[in-house]
A and B are shown apart, each in its own frame.
Chain A
Amino acid sequence: MKSDASRLGFYLLFAPILLWLVVLIILPHIGLFIVSISEKVGPRQYETGFGNYAAFFGEPLYWRTFARTAIMSIAATALTLVLGFPIAYYIAKLTRGRTKTTLFLMCMIPFWVSELVRTFGWMILLRETGVFSNALQSLGLVSGPVEMLYNDAAIMVGLVYTSILFMVVPLVTTLDSLDDSLIEAGYDLGGSSTSIMREIVIPHAMPGIVSGCIVVFMLSLGNYLTPILLGGKDSLWFTGMIYTQFITRFNWELGSAFGFLLLGLSSLVVFLGLKLSGQTLSQTMGRS
């Protein structure tokens, strides 16, 4: 009797996550996959085949944008790591108590504003008539207005800015768990700052680094707002192309194929990242 009741409790607790997985993730993906392998042969006439995938590889604009998105996402992830690690190290190891909480909160404050507003903020700073352009002109460093929007650098700035928190949080958590006496022991045994960083701190922080990188990479790869607003027409992003297929061109078949290619890409990159760093998914994601 009692075990029945506890089993019921288990199913009740398990139901939301199961619903979430089945209704919102698995079913739509099955649907999308079926759509993606349907080729339109006439009005309301479809045949099963991989023509949509072939179309992707046949059109250079598609796969070039795809590769560009992948490479830039990786670059954004690396840049976020390089910028986020010192911040996390400072918060976790060099500050105490109140300062620590304050700094951590300051990292979080920008995220109280919607991503759209934050991105518009960057547009105000970077556009031709924006703050940076005007400042450079009034300092006499440039003769005319400078356009800093609509290029790869602008996208990079936006991506790093949007995702740095997701790098800092897991890094602070793992670095916090590093015992200070290990660092002291390193110094005591004659280690220099760089060798201690390389041999003690980074190996310890590896699960945090990898989990932060996975999250940031996925966020960047799947980001839509930032690349579209900051990159404009000169810097295409693959999510933008998916959007165009679905909404502008009403070509759901090709759009679905694109979606699946993006899913495959992110899985592949995460897999390679884990293999290269010698971590496992359960090690990195299970901790934070």
Chain B
Amino acid sequence: MTDIQPDLECRDLAKSFDDFQAVDRVNFEVPKGSFFSILGPSGCGKTTLLRMISGFQSPTSGDLRIKGRSMIGVPPNKRPVSMVFQHLALFPTMNIGDNVGFGLRQRGVGKAEIRKRVDEVLERVGLPGVSARRVDQLSGGQKQRVAIARCMVLEPDVLLLDEPLGALDLKLREHMKVELKSLQAAFNTTFVYITHDQSEALVMSDNIAVMNNGRFEQVGTPHDVYHRPGTAFVAGFVGDANSFNAKVTAVNGANISVATDAGVEMKIEAADAGLSVGQNAQVFLRPEAIKLVSSAADIGDSVNVSAGVVDSVLFNGANSSVTVRSTTGGLLKVALPQTGDYTALQKGDEVFTRWHPKQARCFQLAGGAR
């Protein structure tokens, strides 16, 4: 990574408004041609960060480099970045061709050349021959692609995307995720994508930065972020998880025993969790990591087994789950495998739950005490 210049590089980038720290000393670099997502809840500072990269806001401190060139003090119209706005911001007074050609016209490219390049880029996004149409004659997904074409025709070093899928309906959003990813691969341009929708980030990204309160909690591949969350926030924010507050009762190398507030004993296998006996901890357990067993005979000698009653069945097609109320009173959300074994499961059925100690994530609770 050291010999190749990253397309985008932020060093201790910070932005504060009066006494509110919107972005707090963020460090990251985005290698060329990769898809980088910034994932965070609303108000976490991701929009401010994006606006600093695009140049609409200037950082309070820190440095921002694009292709090694510092962008501090460079106005937005002089930066080699383009942005796809949240509501796309296609110019309603122009037709599609003029929209896409806007940037080229500003650069003083000749008319014939503009037409050629506009047609080319529209073809690449799969919309040949729409130049003469008005913006309101296109569907949501087509507008999306025009917005991307309008940026890509300028061949920017970095393309910024500000939650552009937010306004689309679910079906189209699913489709556009795949399409965006393939467009990114086709153009081989660095994409920086901000979103609060984890599935968008997980599906499309090469790397994800999870952001909270102006800081990056974790930067990693989607796989890492999902399966090896670095902090309690990431574990809770990315994906579904059952979370418990617990007290550490024993530490034996990587094997940790905790007792939840409800009094359930849990055994967790986690290296370098940095926990010691007596500390308060937060345990996260993914619904799909828990196995349902219907009879006591099938349990064997597993650990982390508890008996319970089905509290409710949440049918959601492939993402169906059940909540199990354990005998000790706690609720546990369990993903329902779609193998057909559990189609008869009903509210009130007695079941056993079990999970492997390696599947749970355990974090020291901030401050040590609640």
Tell me the A residues contacting B by CB distance below 8 Å. Answer: 179, 181-182, 184-192, 195, 199-200, 203-204
- Asked if residues B93 and A192 are in contact (CB atoms below 8 Å), the reply is no
Interface presence of B103 (CB below 8 A): yes
Interface presence of B361 (CB below 8 A): no
- Asked if residues B93 and A200 are in contact (CB atoms below 8 Å), the reply is yes
25 example contacts (A-B, Cβ-Cβ < 8 A) are as follows A179-B87, A181-B86, A184-B56, A184-B76, A184-B83, A184-B85, A184-B89, A185-B83, A186-B91, A187-B56, A187-B77, A188-B55, A188-B76, A189-B102, A189-B150, A189-B151, A189-B154, A190-B78, A190-B103, A192-B77, A195-B105, A195-B106, A199-B105, A200-B93, A203-B93
- B192 → A minimal CB distance (Å): 14
- B33 → A minimal CB distance (Å): 21
What residues of chain A lie closer than 8 Å to B150, measured between beta carbons? Answer: 189
- Asked if residues B89 and A190 are in contact (CB atoms below 8 Å), the reply is no
Tell me the B residues contacting A by CB distance below 8 Å. Answer: 54-56, 75-78, 81-83, 85-87, 89, 91-94, 102-103, 105-107, 150-151, 154
Q: Look across to chain B and name the residue whose beta carbon is closest to the beta carbon of A184.
A: B56
C-alpha spacing A187/B78, complex, angstroms: 9
Do A189 and B56 form a contact, CB below 8 Å, given A179-B87, A184-B89?
Answer: no
- Asked if residues B89 and A182 are in contact (CB atoms below 8 Å), the reply is yes
What residues of chain A lie closer than 8 Å to B102, measured between beta carbons? Answer: 186, 189, 191, 199
C-alpha spacing A182/B91, complex, angstroms: 7
C-alpha spacing A191/B104, complex, angstroms: 9
- A109 → B minimal CB distance (Å): 33
- A260 → B minimal CB distance (Å): 38
C-alpha spacing A190/B107, complex, angstroms: 7
What residues of chain A lie closer than 8 Å to B103, measured between beta carbons? Answer: 189-191
C-alpha spacing A151/B107, complex, angstroms: 48
- A185 → B minimal CB distance (Å): 4
Q: Look across to chain A and name the residue whose beta carbon is closest to the beta carbon of B80.
A: A190
Residue among A185, A186, A191, A199 having the largest count of chain B Cβ atoms under 10 Å? A185
- Asked if residues A200 and B82 are in contact (CB atoms below 8 Å), the reply is no
What residues of chain B lie closer than 8 Å to A187, measured between beta carbons? Answer: 56, 75-77
- A189 → B minimal CB distance (Å): 4
- Starting from the known contacts A190-B107, A204-B92, 10 additional A-B residue pairs (CB-CB under 8 Å) come to A181-B87, A181-B89, A186-B91, A187-B77, A188-B77, A188-B82, A189-B154, A192-B77, A199-B102, A200-B93
What residues of chain A lie closer than 8 Å to B107, measured between beta carbons? Answer: 190
C-alpha spacing A60/B77, complex, angstroms: 57
What residues of chain A lie closer than 8 Å to B94, measured between beta carbons? Answer: 199, 203
- Asked if residues B93 and A179 are in contact (CB atoms below 8 Å), the reply is no
C-alpha spacing A189/B54, complex, angstroms: 10
Q: Look across to chain B and name the residue whose beta carbon is closest to the beta carbon of A191.
A: B106
- Asked if residues B85 and A190 are in contact (CB atoms below 8 Å), the reply is no
- Asked if residues A190 and B154 are in contact (CB atoms below 8 Å), the reply is yes
Q: Look across to chain A and name the residue whose beta carbon is closest to the beta carbon of B151.
A: A189
Residue among B77, B82, B105 having the largest count of chain A Cβ atoms under 10 Å? B77
- A253 → B minimal CB distance (Å): 49
- Asked if residues A185 and B106 are in contact (CB atoms below 8 Å), the reply is no
What residues of chain B lie closer than 8 Å to A184, measured between beta carbons? Answer: 56, 76, 83, 85, 89
C-alpha spacing A288/B339, complex, angstroms: 62
C-alpha spacing A187/B81, complex, angstroms: 11
- B56 → A minimal CB distance (Å): 6
C-alpha spacing A31/B76, complex, angstroms: 63
- Asked if residues B93 and A190 are in contact (CB atoms below 8 Å), the reply is no
C-alpha spacing A184/B105, complex, angstroms: 17
- B193 → A minimal CB distance (Å): 16
C-alpha spacing A185/B147, complex, angstroms: 10
What residues of chain B lie closer than 8 Å to A179, measured between beta carbons? Answer: 87, 89
- B74 → A minimal CB distance (Å): 12
Do A200 and B91 form a contact, CB below 8 Å, given A185-B85, A189-B102, A192-B106?
Answer: yes
Contact of A190 among B86, B92, B106 (CB under 8 A): B106
- B149 → A minimal CB distance (Å): 12
- B314 → A minimal CB distance (Å): 38
What residues of chain B lie closer than 8 Å to A203, measured between beta carbons? Answer: 93-94
C-alpha spacing A227/B91, complex, angstroms: 43
- Asked if residues B85 and A189 are in contact (CB atoms below 8 Å), the reply is no
C-alpha spacing A199/B95, complex, angstroms: 12
